[in-house]
Amino acid sequence: MKLILIMLACLFATPALAIYTECTVTKDMDLATRPNGPTEVRYRAIVKGDKVAFRGTYRDWWFVMHAKDEGGEHWVDYGWVRQKDLNDCETKEGTP
């Protein structure tokens, strides 16, 4: 009986799949602390052409993660950008 349960569990088990949406920024901008909110100097500027990972939405604002390696230093910022300022969004496998 135990063997049958193990075989059934293996039959229906699927490997975990991690996906995320990556978009290209269309203009130079700063991340906002909230939709229609201010920006802060602790966030690094986003340059046109940078890639951001989508995390959530509120109306026409997208909460994104912006990660970059610069001068041997890796940093990650989170903040809000308008959806219209992003394009070429595509689903990627893995984690950003």
Please check whether residue 84 lies inside any domain of the structure: yes
Answer yes or no: is 58 within a domain.
Answer: yes
pTM (predicted TM-score): 0.76
56 in a structural domain: yes
Residue 72 sits in a domain whose CATH number is 2.30.30
pLDDT of residue 6: 72
Instruction: List, for the chain, all residue ranges whose pLDDT scores fall below the cut of 70.
Output: 5, 7-16
In a domain, 9, yes or no: no
Give a yes or no: residue 69 inside a domain.
yes
Does residue 83 fall inside a structural domain? yes
Asked, for residue 36, whether it belongs to a domain, the answer is: yes
Domain-embedded: residue 12: no
Read off the pLDDT of residues 32-48 as tens digits, 9 standing for 90 and up. Answer: 999 989 988 888 889 99
> What is the span of the domain harbouring residue 46?
17-93
Long-range pairs for 77-82: beta carbons < 8 A, 24 or more residues apart: 77/31, 77/43, 77/44, 78/31, 79/30, 79/31, 79/32, 79/33, 79/39, 79/43, 80/31, 80/32, 80/33, 80/34, 80/35, 80/37, 81/25, 81/29, 81/31, 81/32, 81/46, 81/52
Number of domains in the chain: 1
